[in-house]
Amino acid sequence: MSNEILLFCIVFVPVLGSFVLPVIGTFSEKARNLLALLLVAVSLIFSVKLLPIIISGQSITINYPLLMSIDFVLHADMLAIFMAIASSLVGAIIVLYSFGYISHYENRNEYYFMVVLFLGSMMGLIFSGNLIFLFLFWEITSIASWRLIGFFREKAFVLRADKAFLITVFGALIMLIGFVMLYTQTGSFNLLDIKNNLQNNPVSNIVVMLILFGILSKSATLPFHTWLPDAGVAPSPVTALLHAAVLVKIGVYVFARLFISTMTLDVVWHTVVPVIAGASMLVSGAAALKETDLKRIIAYSTISQIGFIFLGLATGNEIGIAGGLLYILMHGLAKGGLFLCAGIVEQNTHTKDITKMGGLGKVMPITLLAFLFCSFSVMGIPPFGGFFSKYLVITGAINNGQMAIAFTFLAGAVLTVLYLLRVISIVFFGELKMSSIKEGSATMLFSVAFLGILSLLGGIFIKYPADVVVSTVQQMMGIIK
């Protein structure tokens, strides 16, 4: 198959395939589950297949001009392919985990439909070379997450789903105004044309501000972060999908795509964005220390770790950006693992309140190990993957001479260690407060163990992801130069 067809399949096999899933689900549960996994795996395998071609310096573009410069453009470069592999990898594991988790709830057809549609439109968003199509896929992910958060149909849950939908759509619409403004300034929605027309002049600050509304709301960063902890009422694989692997990374990805590889930012943003990210990180880190709901703690932790990614990307120097990108991958793996572990705990203890738990490590040894591995990665303990990313991010800030910001983030890293140790000690150690607790099902345990081991291996064999990230950064920065 030619590379263009591969690229097309990465996006449209899951997007179109997702519509078949509910139909198949009415005949056979098993066939639907396997097909769902297959659809997501297609994205992953084809992305990996494209990787060597992209690394060799080529880029693949599908350009189908439509009217008013709303052209259908799919563009695969290093950044896109890196992001696609990172999200479809975690996505595939989450679908696998869902086999066990979701098997005894209602509306399973809708569940798989929405999850695969979500992952497919994520691929569309990543490869979009046109702002309007980027927005289009962006909103499809919002629709899917709205249905998924309200999956259990309780009134309070649906309200929270509505809240998440409203906040992200609000941000997205403000961002759309920013896109329209860019269009009136540069005469095009196509990223390549925008880049050529801007010719390295910094893009106007008001456009950056408008687009930041969308990015911050999608990535759940202060002041638009409140929907994310509330979204914890969704099924655990969904929260893993939303919080860890995919949805919150949309914002940071678009930041990298627009403000690093397409446009040049005004210098002031190299300070403003880290300050927003720092505030967001501290506030949510403190909230995570106080919470007693297991999934809310991890959700707050996500908000605070997104701060690190933003800091890395906003430094504007190669080391910082490399750290930010690396952390997108490492955080996706580790945080996905944490949520899936929380899912196992929640399903077997029937509660999310950590004060009622204790000593679960004795009865759930594999879950405990996976949870530990993933937490170490998020805490940034060597040799886990998270360590290298956080190290690079903070080095990037120091290289910029932003000592105050670097120290704030170091404090934030300490905060991370604190709240994760608190969770681990309360939930897994101490005296067993509940009786007749079992381990999760085999596919669920396999998924979390796999993510835990990946977090460790990602750190030990840091060379391979780092190589990819470094050439990604070189390509992104090369475009600027």
Partner 1 sequence: MISLFILVPLTSVILLNLFKGSLINKIACWFGMLLTLVQIYLIVFPVTCFWDNLSNPLGNYFILNLSADTLSKVMLLMIGIVTFISLMIGQYTYHEETQKFNFANLIILALSGMNGIVLVTDIFSLYVFIEVVAVASFILICLYKDKAGFESAFKYIILSIAATVFMLLSIVLLFLISGDTTFTAINIASKNPTYGFILVVAIGLFTCGAFTKGGLVPFHSWLPDAHSSAPTSISILLSGIVIKVSGLYPLIRLLTMTGGGNESIKNILLIVGTVSILVGALAALGQNDIKRMLAFSSVSQMGYIVLSLGTGTMLGLVGAVFHMFNHSVFKSQLFANSAAVEKQTGTRDMNKLGGIAQKMPFTGTTSIIGMLSICGIPPLAGFWSKLIIVIALWQTAHYGYAFVAVIASVITLAYFLSLQRRVFFGKIASGLENIKEAKAGLIIPVVILAAVTILVGIFFPFIMEKLIMPVGDILK
Point out which residues bind partner 1 (CB under 8 A): 66-68, 70, 132, 135-136, 139-140, 142-143, 150, 153-155, 158-159, 161-162, 165-166, 169-170, 173-174, 176-177, 180-181, 183-184
Q: How far is the CB of 41 from partner 1 (least distance, A)?
A: 25
Q: How far is the CB of 102 from partner 1 (least distance, A)?
A: 17
Q: Cβ contacts of residue 188 below 8 Å, gap of 6+?
A: 69, 194, 197
Helix 29-55 to helix 108-127 angle (10° resolution) is 10
Q: Cβ contacts of residue 378 below 8 Å, gap of 6+?
A: 301, 305, 331, 334, 335, 338, 386, 416, 420
Q: How far is the CB of 300 from partner 1 (least distance, A)?
A: 25
Nearer to partner 1, 1 or 156 (CB): 156
Nearer to partner 1, 34 or 70 (CB): 70
Tokens for 279, please give them.
């505030």
Q: Tally Cβ neighbours within 10 Å of residue 327.
A: 29
Distances from the Cα of 386 to the Cα of 144, 247, 250, 256, 277, angstroms? 29, 19, 19, 19, 18
Nearer to partner 1, 173 or 437 (CB): 173
Q: How far is the CB of 218 from partner 1 (least distance, A)?
A: 14
Nearer to partner 1, 145 or 395 (CB): 145
Nearer to partner 1, 13 or 244 (CB): 13
Q: Tally Cβ neighbours within 10 Å of residue 394.
A: 25
DSSP 91-112: HHHHHHHHHHHGGGSS-HHHHH
Q: How far is the CB of 147 from partner 1 (least distance, A)?
A: 8
Helix, strand, or coil here: 53?
Answer: helix
CB 435, CB 352: distance < 8 Å: no
Nearer to partner 1, 68 or 463 (CB): 68
Q: How far is the CB of 19 from partner 1 (least distance, A)?
A: 11
Query: What counts of helices (H) and strands (E) characterise the chain?
Result: 20, 2
- Would you call 88 exposed, middle or buried from its count of C-beta atoms within 10 A (0-12, 13-18, 19+)? buried
Q: How far is the CB of 162 from partner 1 (least distance, A)?
A: 4
Cα(25)–Cα(11) distance, integer angstroms: 22
Distances from the Cα of 181 to the Cα of 213, 215, 329, 395, 477, angstroms? 14, 16, 32, 35, 25
Distance of CA 147 to the CA centre of its chain: 18
Nearer to partner 1, 2 or 26 (CB): 26
Closest CA to 171 of 218, 204, 139: 218
Q: How far is the CB of 121 from partner 1 (least distance, A)?
A: 10
Nearer to partner 1, 145 or 416 (CB): 145
Nearer to partner 1, 125 or 240 (CB): 125
Q: How far is the CB of 15 from partner 1 (least distance, A)?
A: 10
Distance spanning both ends of the chain, measured CA to CA = 34
